[in-house]
Amino acid sequence: MSPSPIRPIRTLGPAYLKLHRDTHAKHASFGTHRHPCLHATVRDLALAFAAAERCQPSLLDYGCGKGAFIDEMRALGAFAGIAGHDPAVDHFAARHDRRYDIVTCLD
């Protein structure tokens, strides 16, 4: 088995990570921002990808908070798979060892 071409990188420092973990813990609404203005844009991007590649794209939302945008994108039905990553939220802290067709970062 060949080694993964994906290598871990540090995208934020320990103090910044602690600040976000603490903020997520103290404020239930932090990390739940909705982005309805992006629905049509992201859907159109997914449809254009599907037409060109003849398959639905995968989506990673980096810095997904508590996953509100992921849920909204899942409801569109335009993606083969959707995942989120947010190092400050335990549920989404695990790194994904794969590539994604579309990556959003709405922080």
d(CA 84, CA 72): 12
Q: What is the pTM of this model?
A: 0.81
Mean pLDDT along residues 1-15:
69
Give the pLDDT of residue 41: 93
d(CA 9, CA 62): 13
Give the pLDDT of residue 9: 63
Condensed to tens digits (0 to 9), the pLDDT of residues 44-93 reads 999 999 999 999 999 999 999 999 999 999 999 999 999 999 999 999 99
Q: In a 10 Å sphere around its CB, with 0-12 CB exposed, 13-18 middle and 19+ buried, how is residue 75 labelled?
A: exposed
